[in-house]
Every structure is written in C-alpha cells, then in structure tokens.
Structure 1
C-alpha cells in the first residue's frame, strides 16, 4: 500500500512539473514574440495587442507594456495570487521582410494552426538569419533613395540628383560605421549633416542646397517615427508614444542643428558671400520623369528598410498612389496645407488596407513605403535649420508644431481609411497595421 502511495505521489509530482514546464514554455514564447516584433519594427501599440491576443490563445494571464528599448511583461497566477514581472531590453530596428514573417507566425499561433515548439523554432530562425539585404544592396538602396528624392520632392535638377547620389553613398557608409563604432554613433546625425551642409554650400551655385542637403539625409528623416508616435498617442498608448515623439523631435533638432552649423561654418570662413540656403531650387526635372524616378525611389526605400522582393510591387504601388495624390493636391491648394498630407495618407491607408483585406497579407508593408515618401520630417528639418543657420527668420521656432501637425494629418488619414475598410474592426486574430 505504501509503495502505491509513493508511486502516486511521484506521478503527481511529474504531472505538476510537466504542467509548470508547459506554462513556462508558453510564457517564453510570448516574450520571444514580443522581442521579434520589436526587432523587426512593428508599432508599439500593435506589439502589445499581438502579445495580448496570443497570450489569451495560449491561456496565459499576462499584461504587456512596450517602451523604447524595453518590454515589460507581467505574468499572473490566479491560483496562488502571485505575479512575476520581467524587464527585457530590446533595441528597435526595421526589417519589413522579417516583420511579415513574424506576423504570419503570430497569426497562425492565434488561430491554433501551428504547434508552439515549431513556432518558437521559426522565430529563432528569423532572429539568427542575416538582414533581408546585405551590405552592398543596402548601400545601393541609400544611393537610390537620396538621388531620386531630390527631383521628386525638392525641385532638384539632374545635377542635384547625381550629387545627392554621392551623398547617399557616403551617408550609407557612415551609417554602417556608426553601427560598428558606438562612440561615433552617438554623434552620427550631427556629424553627417554638418559634412553634407558644408560640402553642399561649397558647391553653390552648381547645386541647390535644399534639394541636395535634405535628400542626402532623407532616410534619416523621422517620418515613420513621428507618425508612429502620434498613432501610439491616439491609441492611448501614452508612455511609448510620448517617448517616441520626444525622441523624433530631438532627432529633427540634431539634423537641423548639423545643417545649420555647417552653413554657419561656411559663412564664417567666407564672410563676403551671402547665400540664401533655403531658396527655391531652379531648373527642376520635368514631371514626366517622375514615372521612372518614383518606382526607383520606392525600390531604394524598400531595400533600406528590408522589404523582400515579393513586397516590392505593393510597396511601390502604394507609394505611387500616395505621391500622386500628394503631388496633384499640392498643385491645387499648396503643399503647406495640412489637408494635403491627410488626404495623401487616406489614399495610402485605403489602398494598403484593401490590399491587406484582399490578399490576407500584412497591410503594414505597402503603408510604410508611402509614409516614408510623404516625409513629414522634411518641413521640420527646414524649420530647425532656420533656427541654427544664423538667419533672422522668426518662423524657425514653429518647427515642432509643423512636424506634429503633419504627423497628426497623416494619422487622421490613416485612421479614417481603417474605418472605411474595417467599419466593424478587423476580424483576424492577430494583425499589424497602423
């Protein structure tokens, strides 16, 4: 009898141990999913929603907060009335190709279409893989983005385009250097913008300062960061949204300070020369060339942000829609109106969400290219430049209001498009979008 009792106790202990191990495995997967979404660039409020949805599916009682560089996870135990909190450091990046694959895994787990062990192994594979595009392809993406943005958005000439391509190459190389040398990474934005500013103004009057300087740092412009921050605030994710917004505005200040500092150095060394750095560019490229330049710009941005080849068509197509609306509306009512970016963003969101609904693929992919194309950071950089270039323009102090206003306009357009395409909300268990 005693041996039977002992055997029963051993069996119970083994069962309890197996149950605990199963719970820990499910908790570990949720943490791994959150880290994967952060590393591939998903918006914070969507990461929290995805983690909550998956935890309900896996029957785990947990709450989640995603802050810049940090994930806070609290798991509760209803039976023992205890909780366990994890603080996980995780740096944010953007790799659209990997992001869609992570989202597919989260969706399949939410639907119960895949085993937990298999999903965990797939997330490990994605983490251990190299970036979607290697060094040389990414460098080409920097060149394409900088070169073709100059004529598209800043009335640049063919000369401006080639000079911007060279600057794009230099910025790409320095970006990789900043990732390898942390001390340089701390001052990367300011150093790069100073160098761009000094060289560009030295080339005057052969190139247009506005077109070349802003297109050279177009990848660094925090268009996606500001829009994402405002959308997090709109989604009542106050902590993460406020931190991201302050960081994006300070980033604009870094870039504007560097450009303004460079112009000040030039004026100091050439006191007899008075150059209007924010003058409107002359000799713009014919708009008919935009049919070629816009797809090339979309491809360049796609490569820099890690889009896979099969994502190029929706991303470039949606970018073209957003640009066409933005361009023709700017001609009609002027580019300074807040209506222009909101209508452009509405068109972006409408086509992006329709793409997601019809194909059942990630709507975030085509949207991100269009958001970068709208470049809400460029107006802010112009304003910040006027703060630091020794000019007497009192409007420079309005840069923060300008950039937030543009981001709010884009947010409004995206949310309205979501309402039109999904009036009752999305029915998929896990989704990522704006």
Structure 2
C-alpha cells in the first residue's frame, strides 16, 4: 500500500480506500457512490471509474490541482467482515471524526488482518453448502453426501490455487476435472448415483451465478464498462469450468451408470438444507457469527418467497419477489444497525442466482442438444434480469444505507 511521495495524504487515502473496496468485492455502482461521497466530505472532487480488473481515479482539490491514477487490481470475493470494518472507517472519515493519516493506518490494518475462519472451517462450510444444493436439486442421500465431499475437495483446490498462486485461469478447469472424475468413479464403482447432478452440486461454489447477477445489475444502473467486463468474465469462467467437466465425461464415457428409478428425498430434507445453507454461505463470505441470524432470516425469506410464488406464476416472477424480499430486508437491517446492506444481501442472493442454468445450458450445447441449451441459457438471463429487477425495486421501496 505505497504511493508516490508526491501524492498528498488525502488523495493517497482515497486511492487506497477505493482499491480496498475493489479488492474485497464491492460492486461498481456502490464503490463509485461511496468514494464520491467520502471525497466530497474531504473537499476533493473525485471521479472513480471501476471495472473488475482496473480502477481509474481522478481527484481535484479546491485549488484546482488535479491528478489521475490508474491501478490494476483484481476483484476478489466478497469479504463481509472487512467490508463492515471499511464501512465503519469510511463513515468516521465522512463525519470528519478522524484524519486521513489515522484512517490510512487503520485501512492498512484491516487489509492485513488474519482470515476470519481457518481453512478447515471454510472447507467444511463449502461441503455443507454443496450438500444443501444437492438437496435442492432433489438428490438422494448418497448423492447429497458425495456432493458434500466433492465440495470439500473443490474448496481445497481453491485454497491451494490461492496459496501457490497458480495461473489465474487454471482453477475452474482443474476443479471441473476433479469434480467430474470423483463423481464418475463413485457412480461406477461404489454407489449408483446421478454423477451429473453430483458434479453440478459439488461445483456450485465456483459457478459464477452471483457475478452474473451483479454484472446485470451494473448494466441496469448504467455502469456499462464494469457490467460488460464482469459479465464476460463470468461467462468465460463458466465455460472453462464446463470444459473441464466435459473432458472427463468424454474420456470416461464408458463409466456413466445406467440409473433406474431414484427415490425422492423426504420433504424435511429441504428444510434442513434451508436452515444450514445460509450459515454455510455466511462462512464462505467471511461473515462473523453475529451476522448469521440476519443472513439466515434474509436467505430464508428470499427462498420461501421464490418457492411460494414460482410454482404458480413462473420461476421469473418467483425470482423477482425473492430478490425483492432479500433487498428490502437487507436495506432495512442496514439502516437500523448502521452496517452495509451487502452483509446480508450477498449471501441471501447466492441461493437465488441462476448459475445452474448456465451450467446446464453449456452442458446441453456440448452434447449437441441445441434447443435445450438455448432454452436454459435464455432462462438464465431471464432469471438474472428478474433478480436485478427485484433488487432495483427494493432500493426504491427501502433506500439502501448511504455508505455501503
């Protein structure tokens, strides 16, 4: 976190604050709004242009001195705990309670803080999340168990990728190969399971459904460069993930089992999964245990709204009202507790996002089932647009918190 010695302290703080928000998963429309407000409080006119891999910042003080900086920053996953701490820090700066020198030191301290959860806890949370998704897909008990194990394997690969700093595009195809191979071997030699359902559930943490929804939101609110870049990145990640899966399916095609009638899981499994999934996603997004109750409440309300309305009026209407419920409750809680709405909004939306449709679309196209692939792709975009519509309406019904 070093800047040129010629950079004034106020401008240096604004640059580093924008980089930190970018790095820890803040969408472009929130980042640009927040940083513009903080810059104004510090008597600086700031323009912030954000795309998922770059920041362009223009700052002009009252004397008319202007500087423009460009930073190459990779947009990382959402870290709820650090975003809360950034929000508290920026609020104090906005109210002029602390100077930029003190704020810069605190900003560095937050950035360098140790991870909230140890690796075994994170891996366990990913396993529970994947098992819960297998329940939502109608998996049998064996399929649920194997999906959880594959989810743990994929999370381990993700941590190794981060620790050893492998090539950035290697994670998705490697995870796809590992998930498809494990599910096929289990189906062929241990237990007759639907390996395709298990593979999809085991990869759900890496399927970029949330990025797709955020990209559509950015496009809807006029942040075109960020939206197009994020949408392209999400589609490429999804494509490389599916390529890894299909390489295994083609090479080990003879291992695909012939499945007979499959028993449906008992209805109470759905409620158990619905109770556990939000906590698992809260850990994945690094939210402290104090935030678990509101994350569980928001996620449950969104899913129940989608489940209750979707079968009668269609999945698009159900998704709209699910996102509307998540957005309204998240914004209300953010205003009451003075914390970022992203705390409960992001985990709550993750259960609703249409990532599985994109996976199924590419799977069908790969198998030359063109009509089915186009249909799944269209449904993915339609559900994503419905989610975006619900979020935008929720911001009108209950305006979000002023900072994050």
TM-score by length of 1: 0.85
Tell me which of 384, 391, 395 is aligned to 1:414: 391
Asked whether 1:296 is paired with 2:276, we answer yes
* C-alpha distance in 2 between matches for 1:282 and 1:431: 50
* C-alpha distance in 2 between matches for 1:77 and 1:101: 27
Q: Indicate conservation of the 8 Å contact 1:321/1:348, yes or no.
A: yes
- Report the number of matched residues: 396
* C-alpha distance in 2 between matches for 1:398 and 1:248: 19
The runs of 5 or more residues in structure 2 that have no matched partner are: none
Partner of 1:318: 298
Q: Indicate conservation of the 8 Å contact 1:95/1:131, yes or no.
A: no
Asked whether 1:131 is paired with 2:97, we answer no
Q: Indicate conservation of the 8 Å contact 2:117/2:283, yes or no.
A: yes
Asked whether 1:100 is paired with 2:84, we answer yes
Asked whether 1:74 is paired with 2:58, we answer yes
Q: Indicate conservation of the 8 Å contact 1:256/1:382, yes or no.
A: no
Q: Indicate conservation of the 8 Å contact 1:326/1:340, yes or no.
A: yes
The DSSP-based 3-state class of the residue aligned with 1:338 is helix
Partner of 1:431: 403
Tell me which of 2, 10, 15 is aligned to 1:26: 10
Matches within 5 A, 1:352-371: 352-371=330-349
TM-score by length of 2: 0.91
* C-alpha distance in 2 between matches for 1:274 and 1:168: 21
**Cα deviation per residue 1:271-315 (whole Å; 9 max; x = unaligned)?**
xx7858xx9x93232222333322221111111111111111111
* C-alpha distance in 2 between matches for 1:357 and 1:40: 22
* C-alpha distance in 2 between matches for 1:341 and 1:119: 40
Partner of 1:157: 140
Tell me which of 218, 235, 242 is aligned to 1:249: 235
The DSSP-based 3-state class of the residue aligned with 1:65 is strand
Tell me which of 31, 52, 56 is aligned to 2:36: 52
Note closer, same or farther for the CA distance 1:26–1:77 as it changes in structure 2 (3 Å cut): closer
The DSSP-based 3-state class of the residue aligned with 1:206 is coil
Q: State the superposition RMSD in angstroms.
A: 2.3
Tell me which of 342, 366, 372 is aligned to 1:395: 372
Note closer, same or farther for the CA distance 1:274–1:156 as it changes in structure 2 (3 Å cut): closer
Matches within 5 A, 1:169-184: 169-183=152-166
TM-aligned CA deviation for residue 191 of structure 1? 2.2
The DSSP-based 3-state class of the residue aligned with 1:375 is coil
Tell me which of 212, 224, 232 is aligned to 1:238: 224
* C-alpha distance in 1 between matches for 2:294 and 2:285: 14
**Cα deviation per residue 1:52-109 (whole Å; 9 max; x = unaligned)?**
1111100112211111221111223564x55322111222222111111101111221
TM-aligned CA deviation for residue 236 of structure 1? 0.8
Partner of 1:3: none
Matches within 5 A, 1:253-402: 253-267=239-253, 269=254, 282-334=262-314, 337-388=315-366, 390-402=367-379
The DSSP-based 3-state class of the residue aligned with 1:132 is coil
The runs of 5 or more residues in structure 1 that have no matched partner are: 1-20
